[in-house]
C-alpha cells in the first residue's frame, strides 16, 4: 500500500479536477466502520458512485477492520477512511516512516506526516524524515496538479472580482 497516494483526493470538491489518468490509475478503497455501517451507507455509497462517474477507480465501502489487510496485500493503493482514528493505527503499522495524512475539504492540500509531532525526539537529530518528505512531496504534486487544472479551466470571474 502506498499511504501517500494522491488517490484519496477525490474526497474534496476542489481536487476532483485531477487528471483522468491519475484518477484511473490509483485503486481506492473506501472504509466504513462496523458500528456505523447501516447509518453511513446512505452517505458513503452515493459518494463512491459519484467518484466513479468522475473517473476514479474506487471500490467499497468495505469494513475498516479488514480493508487494510487487502491494501497491504496489494488490492488497493489507498484507503479512504471516514475519520482520522479509523485509519491511523493501520497506516502507522504498515508505513510509519512514509505514511501521510491528507485532510480534505479545503481548496488547498493539507498533508502531514502520519506519525505526528514526536516531541520526545525533537532537536536530537534522530528523526526519520521519510513521512515528512512524503507529505511535502504529496502536497507539491497536488498543488501542481491543481495549478495545471486551473490554467486549463479558469474559474469564471464574479462581478465583485472583476471590479
* CATH number of the domain where residue 47 is located: 3.40.718.10
Tally of domains in the chain: 1
- Residue 138 domain flag: yes
- Residue 159 domain flag: no
Q: Angle CA(97)–CA(102)–CA(103) in degrees, nearest 5?
A: 140
pLDDT for the residue numbered 154: 75
Q: Angle CA(86)–CA(90)–CA(91) in degrees, nearest 5?
A: 100
- Residue 158 domain flag: no
pLDDT in tens, 97-146: 888 887 777 778 888 887 777 889 989 999 888 888 988 998 898 888 88
Range of the domain at 29: 6-152
- Residue 1 domain flag: no
Cβ neighbours, 10 Å, residue 80: 26
pLDDT for the residue numbered 97: 82
- Residue 157 domain flag: no
pLDDT for the residue numbered 7: 31
Return the H-helix or E-strand segment holding 51. helix 37-53
pLDDT for the residue numbered 158: 60
Average pLDDT (26-33) is 75
Amino acid at each position: 500500500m502506498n499511504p501517500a497516494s494522491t488517490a484519496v483526493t477525490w474526497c474534496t470538491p476542489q481536487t476532483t479536477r485531477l487528471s483522468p489518468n491519475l484518477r484511473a490509475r490509483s485503486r481506492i478503497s473506501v472504509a466504513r466502520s462496523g458500528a456505523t455501517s447501516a447509518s453511513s451507507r446512505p452517505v458513503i455509497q452515493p459518494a463512491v458512485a459519484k467518484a466513479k462517474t468522475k473517473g476514479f477507480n474506487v471500490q467499497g465501502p468495505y469494513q475498516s477492520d479488514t480493508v487494510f489487510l487487502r491494501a497491504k496485500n496489494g488490492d488497493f493503493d489507498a484507503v479512504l477512511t471516514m475519520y482520522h482514528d479509523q485509519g491511523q493505527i493501520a497506516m502507522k503499522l504498515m508505513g510509519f516512516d512514509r505514511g501521510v495524512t491528507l485532510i480534505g475539504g479545503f481548496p488547498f492540500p493539507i498533508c502531514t506526516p502520519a506519525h505526528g509531532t514526536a516531541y520526545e525526539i525533537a532537536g536530537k537529530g534522530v528523526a526519520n524524515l521519510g513521512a515528512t518528505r512524503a507529505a511535502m512531496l504529496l502536497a507539491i504534486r497536488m498543488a501542481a496538479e491543481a495549478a495545471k487544472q486551473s490554467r486549463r479551466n479558469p474559474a469564471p470571474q464574479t462581478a465583485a472580482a472583476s471590479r
